[in-house]
Amino acid sequence: MAQEEQSTRSIYTDLDDASTDEEINKWERTFRLWRETLKEHWGMLTDELSVKLSMLTVAGFMIIAIFAPFIATHQPLQRQFQGDAGIIQDKWAEPSLLGGDTEYLLGTTAEGFDIFSQLVYGTRAALLVGLIAAFFTAGIGTLVGLVAGYYGGKVDDALMRIVDFLYGMPLLPTVIVLVAVLGPDLWNIILALIILQWRSTARVIRSQSLSLRERPFVKAAEVAGAGDWHIISRHLAPNVLPMTFLYGSFGIAWAILAEAGISFIGLGDPNTVSWGTMLQASRAYSALSFGAWWWFVPPGICIGLLVISGFLIGRGYEEITNPKIQ
């Protein structure tokens, strides 16, 4: 076949001989295109005030989480003692903001822990759970969705039956059972959340890739001889990526809420301070009836702020991926 090809006329004939033609620097070019796309998306995203504020909030929490040891005034799980004698625990100290003990910015708990320090370290747990769970739920969901949607048939059936099975399990009760079995550890909570949350991403990405697979540009790649993996990675994945990001940002908020819920029930990690465990402890010591509102209000506000920010960013990104809802 090769000989025949050469005998026919071709506008490329001279190019086959001359091999020293300058090629475009691929890496530089790819990098530049990525930067342009990101810049464009960033511009659209930060166009809206609510999204901008949400991003500032998340960024603020991130800084707090990273520099927690420098910001916190005390060890979060170290009991505070009154005076130098070291005998009596410093319980229920009022916040220094309200004219209480100058040592404790937000007061202390019934157990004698510094609330401000707990709040600062709790940010770490919240962001850890949120980011890791969201990363893996979006990642696994996208991969499963792409494979199921592209291959279809039996592969699709098998994967989607697994998703259906997971859909049959209610989130919180299942996570409670899993954590009860695996042990109350922050990583087990994250694992349980990942196992249950990739289902919705997988479904949406599958439906997207089902329709993408039939588009002529995928057919064109097939005609050119592209393999399955090439089509999935070059043609399907870039087109579902905005959806992945969207589900990722919603996933952050969901995971933080779920972790707070689990901790509040009492299945949280006893060795880690999270906002959920703070709420749980304040309930256990009936802070509400003692009027010690400074114990449970700050973690509640933090959970609310972070979750709302996550949703608002997701919402803002949704407008990019789906211009119809603008």
Partner 1 sequence: MSGNEVLLEVDDLKKHFKVNQGWIASLVESFGRGEPDYVHAVDGVSFELREGETLGLAGESGCGKTTTGMSLVKLHDPTAGDIVYDDTRLSEASDAEIKQFRQNAQMIFQDPFESLNPRMTVYDTVAEPLRIHDIRNETARVQRALEFAELLPAEHYFDQYPHELSGGQRQRVAIARALVLDPDFIVADEPVSMLDVSLRAGVLSLLDRMTDEFGLSVVYISHDLSLLRHMCDRLAIMYMGKIVEKGPTDQIIENPQHPYTQALINAVPVPDPAVGRERVELQGEVGDVIDIPTGCRFKNRCSEYIGDVCDQVVPPLEAKTDFEQDVACHLYDSAEGYDPYQEMTGSPSAAETGDEPESTPADD
Binding site for partner 1 (CB under 8 A): 1, 4-5, 8-12, 15-16, 18-19, 21-24, 33, 157, 215-217, 219-226, 230, 234-235, 238-239
Amino acid at 176: I
Decide whether 26 or 102 has the Cβ nearer to partner 1.
26
Least separation in angstroms between residue 43's CB and partner 1 is 16
Q: What is the DSSP letter of 114?
A: B
Decide whether 93 or 212 has the Cβ nearer to partner 1.
212
Least separation in angstroms between residue 235's CB and partner 1 is 6
Decide whether 62 or 220 has the Cβ nearer to partner 1.
220
201 in Cβ contact with 171 (< 8 Å): no
257 in Cβ contact with 197 (< 8 Å): no
Decide whether 169 or 237 has the Cβ nearer to partner 1.
237
Least separation in angstroms between residue 119's CB and partner 1 is 42
Half-sphere exposure of 146 (CA within 13 A, CB side): 22
Decide whether 99 or 216 has the Cβ nearer to partner 1.
216
Least separation in angstroms between residue 9's CB and partner 1 is 5
Least separation in angstroms between residue 1's CB and partner 1 is 5
Query: Residue 91: is it exposed, middle or buried by C-beta count within 10 angstroms (0-12/13-18/19+)?
Result: middle
End-to-end CA distance of the chain: 55
291 phi-psi bin (left φ>0, alpha ψ -120 to 50, beta other) = left
208 in Cβ contact with 239 (< 8 Å): yes
Decide whether 56 or 220 has the Cβ nearer to partner 1.
220
Rounded Cα distance between 254 and 203, Å, is 17
Backbone CA torsion sign across 260, 265, 269, 271:
positive
Least separation in angstroms between residue 218's CB and partner 1 is 8
Strand partners, 285: none
Least separation in angstroms between residue 146's CB and partner 1 is 15
Least separation in angstroms between residue 15's CB and partner 1 is 5
3 state SS of 11: coil
Axis-axis angle for helices 153-167, 115-151 (nearest 10)? 150
Q: Work out the number of other CB atoms within 10 angstroms of the CB of residue 183.
A: 11
Decide whether 71 or 221 has the Cβ nearer to partner 1.
221
Decide whether 36 or 47 has the Cβ nearer to partner 1.
36
Rg (alpha carbons) of the chain, rounded to whole number: 27
Least separation in angstroms between residue 23's CB and partner 1 is 5
Rounded Cα distance between 41 and 128, Å, is 25
199 in Cβ contact with 238 (< 8 Å): no
Decide whether 36 or 270 has the Cβ nearer to partner 1.
36
Tokens found for residue 102 = 């100058």
